[in-house]
Chains A and B, each alone.
Chain A
Amino acid sequence: MEPGYYVVLAAVLFTIGAVGVLIRRNAIVLFMCIELMLNAGNLALVTFSRINGTLDGQIMAFFVMVVAAAEVVIGLAIIMSIFRTRRSASVDDANLLKY
């Protein structure tokens, strides 16, 4: 298989994720879109690793996975506590951290 296709796939996945972050309001969906973008990044890293014949990209992918896992834990906890206090999972309802 041509590695270029994987890069295109990664770009498509990333775009889907980015658009999702921008147009959806629900925090959980937003979260999943972010995961999508991270994994698009992972895919690109692994692909380039393959292309270049080095392991750097794969190592980086592991790091990203770890960060993503930690982020999920903290992020979900924040979403939960916001949902508890505001009865809403919409990110547009929470804009207290402004100005």
Chain B
Amino acid sequence: MHASAYEVLASAASGTLSSFWLLIVIPAASGGILLLLGRRADRWGHLLGCASVGVAFVLGLVYFFQLGGLPATDRRATLDLFTFIQVAALKVDFGLLFDPLSAVFVLLITGVGFLIHVYAVGYMADDPKRRTFFAYFNIFVAAMLLLVLGNNYVMLYIGWEGVGLASYLLISFWYTRPSAATAGKKAFIMNRVGDAGLAIAIFVMFANLHTVSYDGVFANVDRFTSGTTLALGLLLLIGACGKSGQFPLQAWLPDAMEGPTPVSALIHAATMVTAGVYLIARSNPIFDANPTAQAVVAAVGAVTLLIGCIIGCAKDDIKRVLAWSTVSQIGYMFLGVGLGGGAYALAIIHLLAHGFFKAGLFLGAGSVMHAMNDQVDIRRFGGLWKYMKITWITFGVGWLAIIGIPPLSGFFSKEPIIAEAFDRPGWAGWVLGFAALLGAGLTAFYMTRLFVLTFHGPERWTDDIKHPHESPPVMTVPLMLLAIGSAAAGALMATPVQDWLNPTVFGVEGGEVPEHVHLSHTVVTILSIAITVLGGLLGWWLFRNGTSLQEQPAGPVVTAARKNLYGDTVNETVFEKPGTYLTRALVYFDNKGIDGLVNGLAAAVGGGSGRLRRAQTGFVRSYALSMLGGALLVAVAFLVVRLG
């Protein structure tokens, strides 16, 4: 542990690095231009959209090497552009931070993002709203970059909600479909639940320290009580769970597949959903200070990775399978950041590798859907390898990478996390380790099922499909590049990425080899390869001859998995239904109760005077009588006062 080891380094950006704010501004400006110009930009909008991200990627590379050129101890650059909010003790700068952690994210976001942008040019070619799509895409990239480049939690929060907005707009991009509109709304609201947690975490930091900057908070972590760090850790975890689709806020992510496939690839696989991992990795001094919070993060990761795997096995929709596999893979990353220490870097490496192979898989799925008239049911695919060779090969690389076959990237990034899980002392090590190992087997099973059912076995196509065709080069070239990335990302373990991240960001000294508590590293490696191969073979053997075309009745486990382990049902019965009833009851109460009181008062006055005016009969003699009565009353009162 290295609590309170955080040192604030003098780090004002200089030279080339002082312009790294351009990374955010360029895509944001492009998105703004595309939205403001409207239809006038229809013809060239997608080109501008791609170019802006491409430029950002090139700039990112330049800054990356600039940063690498600095000595390891002060490898970070901060930039305070202007004062954002200043009220008494609160001072929030519009400040950015470029350090090794942000740098790798910048490269992932702009690099993979650029490829997906290019792919989308082809994928969205026939959509009349392609320009709008690229505008939203650019806004997403800008917000995501702000998220990872901010130097305080408020900047992160702005980016955080910005990507949520982009995600909402893009999920419900085909808004005429009610399911897409509903999915977008669901994503935004469940994200907001997480956002509320993050917001409260920021308030806790301010109340305790009167600062919300990373440096200010991390340097003073030892001033927090352990209760405060636990609260902070859990609140940040809620935020991370919302954004990353982790238990218990996982339900929105599979529904998010209603959006166009490039959206699923970029936002809901490669970048945005990993923001939760970034948040926890970035806040590592807080988590390191509280082992309980770390344990909760690891537990959430383990539970989610199993949930994702189990549901992934039961789904027949190609994008949903991939979505649940994303949930599960991010579970591995959470497990990694929850383990702390050297595992932070492992989680980040898994995140990068996942960015490549999951983006490739999603884009491959999009290519398949393109060929199959936008169908997504893997029961109606089969035998496609003959017709779309490039998609087949690239998808195959992604498949082998995600299940962790050496020497592809998934093996190098996932297996160390499993090993680290086993290294945790006590029974927790066994539980986390076996959960991770079981997840690896299940992943191999359902991904093989997906691959075999889609590309091999008999052709089970619907009648309207005659000749599936390969996608145009604008789509296949990004596929190939991503496949190369998926294959090669494992090399990140060999390069000094760990050494690059560990000292500056995570405060872990290089060469620190953890003690193996339960199983030696070699045993874990053999076990994980064995279980992966076993799962893969099982998947191939069961589905080599295709599957039935309709959904078959199944036992309770499979039924539960098909129904997303009743996650939606729980949400519906615990929140939606009571919420609806509460709303209706309150509307009734407001109209009849509060407004009823107001209107009742008015009615009482009106009704009372209505009664009273009946006394005005118009008959002179009744007036005379009442006058006489009044006079008598006065007289009597007078006498009583006088005599009594």
Contacts and interface: CB of A to CB of B under 8 A. Distances in A.
B624 interface: yes
B625 interface: yes
B613 interface: yes
A94 B614 CA distance: 17
Contacts of A28: none
A96 B620 CA distance: 11
A40 B619 CA distance: 25
Contacts of B619: 91-92, 95
A92 B616 contact: no
B617 interface: yes
Contact of B625 (A22, A91, A92): A22
A48 B621 CA distance: 30
A95 B625 contact: no
A97 B620 CA distance: 10
B511 interface: no
B628 A96 contact: no
A91 B620 CA distance: 7
A99 to B, nearest CB: 5
Interface string A67-99: 000000000000000000000000110111111
Interface string A1-45: 000000000000000001001100100001000000000000000
A94 B613 CA distance: 18
A13 to B, nearest CB: 15
A22 B618 contact: no
A18 B620 contact: no
Q: How large is the interface on B (under 10, 10 to 19, 20 to 34, 35 or more residues)?
A: 10 to 19
A98 B621 contact: no
Contacts of A98: 616-618
B617 A21 contact: no
Nearest to A25: B621
Contacts, number: 29
Given A30-B620, A91-B619, A99 B625 contact: no
A99 B613 contact: yes
Nearest to A21: B624
A91 B621 contact: yes
Interface string A52-78: 000000000000000000000000000
B93 to A, nearest CB: 73
Contact of A97 (B614, B618, B621, B628): B618
Contacts of A95: 617-619
Contacts of A92: 619, 621
Contact of B628 (A22, A30, A91, A94): A22
B636 to A, nearest CB: 15
Contacts of A21: 621, 624
B621 A22 contact: yes
A99 B619 CA distance: 11
A96 B628 CA distance: 22
Contacts of B618: 94-99
A12 to B, nearest CB: 16
Interface in B623-638: 624-625, 628
A83 B347 CA distance: 108
A20 to B, nearest CB: 10
A97 B616 CA distance: 8
A97 B624 CA distance: 15
A21 B613 CA distance: 23
A92 B618 CA distance: 9
A30 B625 CA distance: 13
A7 to B, nearest CB: 14
A46 B619 CA distance: 33
A95 B615 CA distance: 12
B484 to A, nearest CB: 94
Contacts of A22: 621, 624-625, 628
B614 A18 contact: no
A92 B617 CA distance: 10
A92 B628 CA distance: 18
A91 B625 CA distance: 14
Contacts of B620: 30, 91, 94
A73 B624 CA distance: 20
Contacts of B624: 21-22
B609 to A, nearest CB: 11
Nearest to A98: B618
Question: Which residue, B614, B616, B620, has most C-beta atoms of chain A within 10 A?
Answer: B620
A99 B616 contact: yes
Contacts of B621: 21-22, 25, 30, 91-92
A35 to B, nearest CB: 14
Nearest to A19: B628
A99 B628 contact: no
Interface of A: 18, 21-22, 25, 30, 91-92, 94-99
Interface of B: 613-614, 616-621, 624-625, 628
A-B pairs with lowest CB-CB distance, top 8: A98-B618, A95-B618, A91-B620, A21-B624, A95-B619, A98-B616, A97-B618, A99-B613
Given A21-B621, A21-B624, 14 more contacts: A22-B624, A22-B628, A25-B621, A30-B620, A91-B619, A92-B619, A94-B618, A94-B620, A95-B618, A95-B619, A96-B618, A98-B618, A99-B613, A99-B614
18 contacts: A21-B621, A22-B621, A22-B624, A22-B625, A25-B621, A30-B620, A91-B619, A91-B620, A92-B619, A94-B618, A94-B620, A95-B618, A98-B616, A98-B617, A98-B618, A99-B613, A99-B614, A99-B616
